[in-house]
Structure 1
Amino acid sequence: MNAQPRSPAQAWLSPDGLLEELSGGTPWLLVQDLDGVCMELVHDPRRRLLDPDYLRAARQLEGRFAVLTNGEHDGSRGVNRLVEQALAGVADPAAEGLYLPGLGAGGVQLQSPHGRVTHPGVSQAELRFLAAVPAWLHAALEERLPPLLPPPAQEHRTELIAAAVLDNPLSPSLNLNPLLAAIGGEVGRQQDLQALALELMESLLEQAASAGLGESFFVHLAPNLGRVDGRERLKPADPDGSGTTDFQLMLRGALKEVGLLVLLNQFIQRRTGTAPLGGEFHVRNAPHDHAGLLELCRSHIDPTQMPRLVGVGDTITSQPAGMGGGWLRGGSDRGFLTLLQELGESFGTANRVVLVDSSGGEVDRPSLADGRLAGLSDPEDPLRIDTTMAGGPRQYIRWFRTLAARQPPEGPQAGRAS
């Protein structure tokens, strides 16, 4: 049964109402983004902070909670370093299972609560190519960046580049926020910087093709304005916001919507002992389109085994398309939230989409404060927001801790068929 469309501003289910729903007996899985949801957005990702009480609540929800992020667990900039920092001198996250379980790098980096990291389907040739990317980006920016920086920022160029180049093992990236802060409000320079970042990432795709890895990677832009001809559309900086700030070289298949099915497959396997999509299912051997993903679930998952899904994100975009009419919709959380909603409609489960306001951090993002969702959604948006957290990550963490406190422990084989 299809849900009736409603205005995106009418988030009819309060956070407390969602807590009540999840206190019933129906099995559920909460799938959550990280940056902007349980952490404030900052210009330099190295200054992100995690709440130790949030980490303990996540441990209480083991089996019913997983992260799904385009960031990474491991590496010098990974979320695991933030976990260790938050618990330093208090707990050993590996021993106590306090790392965040789920998928990083868009779905190719799988982690257990005890910090065991694997990357199914990734080849050694791909790993070698990715390992060389950060040094290349450093050198390219040292050569190309000077004309784009105002004079006061020139003397800090090397430091700014070090902050902007993220040496993620599986998704090396450019985070423009430190550079945009140095540029200030000069929109022309901001747009030139975005153009340079995109040019560099496209050059990396060309290098990969020359190395025989032409089908291995794609460029993810966050936030974005959807896709055109299979490529994500850049959101230009304007006087109201910085637009696209993150440029990530990612492995093909590393799409959050595909990762959602990996987490769903694992959830059902834990409860029943059987993985309906196969024991070797991962993002690189899965369909990469919504129709194919939905059909895969319909043909392989018993409706009686389908849990209620709750998706939590912060990054969706929508803006008028201009003279042609319609809307340009994107955002790194839109795909998995939309698929989660479609699965609910297809299987008759009360899946919920939760949007957290990430505008309170250092990065320009549209606010939820007035309830209109301007810049995030639109009156014709097929993605319907069920619950909003206008108080941002702090409100979400309070809600999450309450959710964990209300749940009885669930063993790894809870519900397993005898």
Structure 2
Amino acid sequence: MPLSSDALSPDALLEDLARPGELLIVQDLDGVCMELVHDPRHRRLDPAYLRASRRLEGQFAVLTNGEHEGSRGVNRVVEAALAGQTDPAAEGLYLPGLAAGGVQLQDRFARVSHPGVSTGEIAFLAAAVDQLRGALLERLPALLPQLDAQERAAQVEAAVLDNPLSPSLNLNGLFAAVEGDVGRQQDLQQLALELMGHLLEQAAGAGLGEAFFLHLAPNLGSRGGSEQLKPASAGATGTTDFQLMLRGALKEVGLLVLINQAIARRTGSAPLGADFNVRTAPHDHPSLLELARSAIPPALMPRLVGVGDTITSMPAPGGEGWLRGGSDRGFLTLLQELGEVFGTANRVVLVDSSGGAVDRPSHGDGTLAGLTDPEDPLRIDASLPGGPQQYVRLFQELAERRS
């Protein structure tokens, strides 16, 4: 469906957000401020964007399913962007906010904590990485016989993401190796589901059955408590990221954590409690909304801006209804609902991430096909068809106006 008639142009969005008043921008990373790539180690950030984020201190936080730390964490991308220019730790140029869906908290000096996470859970996640590598090396020859051993090893190294709190399989490179072969792409998706399923079974056997869940991106929403795979097709790659994540590591829960912290910084008091975190919070939308309504005084609620790129919508089989998902949908929807409850003019901003190396629906034709639908309760207030480059320019200008 096309954008609604009252949607803001990028210029109008900038003018709207530059108005005085308490503001909190909650922003995804991959596909928003940097292009999507097959290998996270090849991501690039604009140093000017990092400096703009510092000028917006207190008004800006990231909320990502990726991670701050680790060999593929965004902190390595920050350091690469500023290499030879400045020390990001000394200048406070790391990106503050929540990673790993909400269980990895960082300030702008890269001081990292893991509220609510046990040492046993961290140890299990660390061991999962080697298991995934070994299993892929064993199973890939049957699926990718055209590659030699060295090529398969390189693919495994790129596919297994050694994130400390969310070990993952990223199929982008493997999909590229079988480009155009939808059958084998779907076989790779099923293999990833199988390997992650084995990890969940092991966790249950170790007494950690309630500790983890499997996050799929993009996905087609949840059914029975499990996120639904978006199968590869001739028109779209479907699900490419399979993340073993800690229970509670949901962006919509992280949104309340960030709001709670923003109010605490401004007033000295946290309305949801100083120790409020995603592991102890409710995990469903109605409960999160009611918690915010009951505990946060309306006068303290900042105006919220949610920025993401990953939402999906497809017709349900049989043409009855829609299958909606995407890793940004939950927090963007809750942010919109909070605006309605608190009477704040919250904004949902969608960035076009189709220009990167990963196949995503484009905003270029003026529609949001594959992203939303005519009955979608999530309203997009502004679309940025120019992708991360356009967003970064807008972000820099906003920082100049508000600092």
- TM-score above 0.5: yes
Q: Does residue 100 of structure 2 align to residue 80 of structure 1?
A: no
Structure 2 Cα separation of the partners of residues 396 and 23 of structure 1: 15
Structure 2 Cα separation of the partners of residues 395 and 57 of structure 1: 14
Match of 1:173 in 2: 168
User: Residue 89 of structure 1 aligns to which amino acid in structure 2?
Assistant: G
Give the TM-score of the pair, scaled to structure 1.
0.95
User: Residue 175 of structure 1 aligns to which amino acid in structure 2?
Assistant: N
Q: Does residue 302 of structure 2 align to residue 302 of structure 1?
A: no
Q: Find 2:317's aligned residue among 316, 322, 334.
A: 322
The answer to whether the 8 Å contact 2:2/2:366 transfers is no
The answer to whether the 8 Å contact 2:28/2:63 transfers is yes
User: Residue 195 of structure 2 aligns to which amino acid in structure 1?
Assistant: L
Structure 2 Cα separation of the partners of residues 34 and 407 of structure 1: 21
Q: Does residue 402 of structure 2 align to residue 407 of structure 1?
A: yes
1:86-112 Cα distance to aligned partner (Å, 9 max, x none): 001111111110000000000000000
The answer to whether the 8 Å contact 1:142/1:158 transfers is yes
Structure 2 Cα separation of the partners of residues 40 and 150 of structure 1: 31
Structure 1: runs of 5 or more not aligned: 1-5, 409-418
1:227-255 Cα distance to aligned partner (Å, 9 max, x none): 00000000000000110000000000000
SS of the residue corresponding to residue 117 of structure 2 reads coil
The answer to whether the 8 Å contact 1:311/1:354 transfers is yes
User: Residue 40 of structure 1 aligns to which amino acid in structure 2?
Assistant: E
Match of 1:53 in 2: 48
Q: Does residue 50 of structure 2 align to residue 39 of structure 1?
A: no
1:245-276 Cα distance to aligned partner (Å, 9 max, x none): 00000000000000000000001111111100
The answer to whether the 8 Å contact 2:70/2:164 transfers is yes
Match of 1:413 in 2: none
> 1:349–1:153: structure 2 CA closer, same or farther, 3 Å change rule?
farther
Match of 2:286 in 1: 291
Q: Find 1:271's aligned residue among 249, 266, 270.
A: 266
Superposition map of 1:11-410 within 5 A: 12-152=7-147, 155-323=150-318, 325-408=320-403
> 1:161–1:286: structure 2 CA closer, same or farther, 3 Å change rule?
same
1:270-327 Cα distance to aligned partner (Å, 9 max, x none): 1111100000000000000000000000100000111110000000000000215100
> 1:396–1:161: structure 2 CA closer, same or farther, 3 Å change rule?
same
1:28-60 Cα distance to aligned partner (Å, 9 max, x none): 100000000001001111110011000000000
Structure 2 Cα separation of the partners of residues 11 and 222 of structure 1: 30
The answer to whether the 8 Å contact 1:9/1:373 transfers is no
Q: Give the percent of matched residue pairs that are identical in Structure 1 and Structure 2.
A: 72
SS of the residue corresponding to residue 313 of structure 2 reads strand
TM-superposed CA distance for 1:25, in Å, is 2.0
The answer to whether the 8 Å contact 1:66/1:263 transfers is yes
SS of the residue corresponding to residue 54 of structure 1 reads helix
Structure 2 Cα separation of the partners of residues 320 and 341 of structure 1: 23
Structure 2 Cα separation of the partners of residues 11 and 279 of structure 1: 39
The answer to whether the 8 Å contact 1:8/1:379 transfers is no
Structure 2 Cα separation of the partners of residues 123 and 32 of structure 1: 27
The answer to whether the 8 Å contact 1:104/1:110 transfers is yes
1:148-189 Cα distance to aligned partner (Å, 9 max, x none): 114146550001000000000000000000111111110000
Structure 2 Cα separation of the partners of residues 213 and 302 of structure 1: 37
SS of the residue corresponding to residue 345 of structure 2 reads coil
> 1:232–1:331: structure 2 CA closer, same or farther, 3 Å change rule?
same
SS of the residue corresponding to residue 283 of structure 1 reads coil
User: Residue 264 of structure 2 aligns to which amino acid in structure 1?
Assistant: Q
What is the root-mean-square deviation in Å for CA atoms of aligned residues? 1.1
TM-superposed CA distance for 1:14, in Å, is 1.4
Structure 1 Cα separation of the partners of residues 207 and 27 of structure 2: 35
Give the TM-score of the pair, scaled to structure 2.
0.98
User: Residue 34 of structure 2 aligns to which amino acid in structure 1?
Assistant: M
TM-superposed CA distance for 1:23, in Å, is 2.1
Paired positions, count? 403
The answer to whether the 8 Å contact 1:73/1:111 transfers is yes
Structure 1 Cα separation of the partners of residues 332 and 225 of structure 2: 19
Structure 1 Cα separation of the partners of residues 203 and 115 of structure 2: 20
